[in-house]
Structure 1
Amino acid sequence: MKIYWIRAQAPRRVLALAKHLGIEAELVEKDVVTGELKAPDYVALNPNMKVPTLVDGDLVLWESSAIMAHLCIKAGSDMWPAQNPAEQVEVLRWLSWNDCHWSPAVGPFYFEHIVKATFGIGAPDRESLRKKAPDLLKCAEVLDGHLENRTYVACGRLTIADFQLASMANYWRESEMPLEPFPHIARWIDELKRIPAWADPWPTEAAAQSGRAQHA
């Protein structure tokens, strides 16, 4: 099994899950700056020219939620409830809510503060973020209310929905997301950070260099 990644939020949740489940995979870091995501051999795997991408035998998967479900099935983990249709629906609800509402709301803050800093593409545009705050506050009210009496987002336990929703919100303080009025979201994020694989999902430098060398 191979997982192609860069240091960004979608690969982060896949790498964290693989590490949490103890799944052995070759972790291949791609270089965005030199255009490796646009190389013909990579485009043949992922025509979106994004990461993560998983290759497991003849199976090629992109989209992090699908990859996470596959990893859970491989590991027999109920973080994706493969044997429980009702719980699948519950997890899917929050994956969909993330993609349609939460991610677009937190994404601009994450991009301006984290992505720009990671790839050296300029200072954050705080003026543009002021206009984005109302959407974030609206979504945060929904999530905070849901988490008031819950430790996890779905099914009463840790699922891939937690990793999906937290991947950008994890950086809410560094990204200056206005989430201070939402204590249940802050508690939920801080509790996830107690999970070792979530707190430190990235491959060691030696492992990353090994993955790059094998595909140079």
Structure 2
Amino acid sequence: MKIYWIKAQAPRRVLALVKHLGIAAELVEMDLMAGGLRAQEYVALNPNKKVPTLVDGDLVLWEASAIMAYLCIKAGSDMWPAHNPSEQVEVLRWLSWNDGHWSPAVAPFYFEHVVKSTFGIGAPDHELLKSSIADFNKFAKVLNSHLQDRNYVAFERLTIADFQLASMAHYWRESEMPMQAFPHIVRWLDTLKLIPAWADPWPAPNHTTASA
């Protein structure tokens, strides 16, 4: 099994899960700045020119949530409840809510502070982020209320929904996300940081690196 990645929030979820479940995989870091995601061989695997991408025999799979579900099935982990339809739809609800609402609300803060810093593409635009606060607050209220009496997003156990929703929010302090008004989200994020694989999902320096 191969998993292609860069140091960004979507691959973070997958790499954390690989480490957490102890899955054997070749982790191939793509050189974004050298055009690795545009290389013909990679585009043949993932026409979106994004990461992560998983290759397992004849199976080629992209989109982090799908890859996480697949890894759980392979490992027999109930972080994706493969054998419980009612639990499946609950996890799907939160994966969908993340993609439709939460991710767009936190993404501007993550991009301006984390992405720009990681790839050296300029300073944060603080004025631009002022226009993102209303959407952030709108959906943070939903998640904060849901987590008021919960330690995890679903079933009082860790699922891929937690990794999905936390992938950008994890960086709230350095990204100037106005999270102080949402203590239950902060508590949940701090709880996830106690999971070693989530706190440090990145492969050791001797992993495979690929460029254009």
Provide TM-score, normalisation by structure 2. 0.99
Q: Deviations over 1:95-137 (max 9, x none)?
A: 0000000000000000000000000000000100000000000
Contact 1:11 1:52 in 2 (8 A): yes
User: 1:21: how far off?
Assistant: 0.2
Q: What residue number does 1:112 align with?
A: 112
Alignment of 1:125-164 (within 5 A): 125-164=125-164
In the alignment, the residues of structure 1 paired with residue 66 and residue 209 of structure 2 have an alpha-carbon distance, to the nearest angstrom, of 24
Equivalent AA in structure 2 for residue 82 of structure 1: A
User: 1:196: how far off?
Assistant: 0.2
Q: Deviations over 1:56-96 (max 9, x none)?
A: 01000000000000000000000000000000000000000
Contact 1:91 1:155 in 2 (8 A): no
- Specify the SS of the correspondent of 1:4: strand
Alignment of 1:55-66 (within 5 A): 55-66=55-66
What percent of counterpart residues are identical?
A: 75
User: 1:154: how far off?
Assistant: 1.0
Task: Answer 1 or 2: higher relative contact order, Cα 8 Å, separation at least 6.
Answer: 2
Q: What residue number does 1:171 align with?
A: 171
- Specify the SS of the correspondent of 2:55: strand
- Specify the SS of the correspondent of 1:28: strand
Equivalent AA in structure 2 for residue 2 of structure 1: K
In the alignment, the residues of structure 1 paired with residue 168 and residue 110 of structure 2 have an alpha-carbon distance, to the nearest angstrom, of 6
In the alignment, the residues of structure 2 paired with residue 164 and residue 180 of structure 1 have an alpha-carbon distance, to the nearest angstrom, of 21
Query: After TM superposition, where is structure 1 displaced by more than 2 Å over at least 4 residues in a row?
Result: none
Equivalent AA in structure 1 for residue 209 of structure 2: R
In the alignment, the residues of structure 2 paired with residue 45 and residue 113 of structure 1 have an alpha-carbon distance, to the nearest angstrom, of 30
In the alignment, the residues of structure 2 paired with residue 109 and residue 61 of structure 1 have an alpha-carbon distance, to the nearest angstrom, of 28
Q: What residue number does 1:2 align with?
A: 2
Q: What residue number does 1:25 align with?
A: 25
In the alignment, the residues of structure 2 paired with residue 151 and residue 67 of structure 1 have an alpha-carbon distance, to the nearest angstrom, of 24
Provide TM-score, normalisation by structure 1. 0.97
Q: Deviations over 1:184-212 (max 9, x none)?
A: 000000000000000000001112xxx12
In the alignment, the residues of structure 2 paired with residue 41 and residue 206 of structure 1 have an alpha-carbon distance, to the nearest angstrom, of 23
In the alignment, the residues of structure 1 paired with residue 15 and residue 99 of structure 2 have an alpha-carbon distance, to the nearest angstrom, of 19
In the alignment, the residues of structure 2 paired with residue 9 and residue 154 of structure 1 have an alpha-carbon distance, to the nearest angstrom, of 21
Q: What residue number does 2:209 align with?
A: 212
Alignment of 1:66-81 (within 5 A): 66-81=66-81
In the alignment, the residues of structure 2 paired with residue 74 and residue 206 of structure 1 have an alpha-carbon distance, to the nearest angstrom, of 25
In the alignment, the residues of structure 2 paired with residue 38 and residue 184 of structure 1 have an alpha-carbon distance, to the nearest angstrom, of 40
- Specify the SS of the correspondent of 1:55: strand
Q: What residue number does 1:82 align with?
A: 82
| Alignment gaps of 5+ in structure 1 | none
| Alignment gaps of 5+ in structure 2 | none
In the alignment, the residues of structure 1 paired with residue 46 and residue 126 of structure 2 have an alpha-carbon distance, to the nearest angstrom, of 33
In the alignment, the residues of structure 1 paired with residue 85 and residue 156 of structure 2 have an alpha-carbon distance, to the nearest angstrom, of 15
User: 1:141: how far off?
Assistant: 0.2
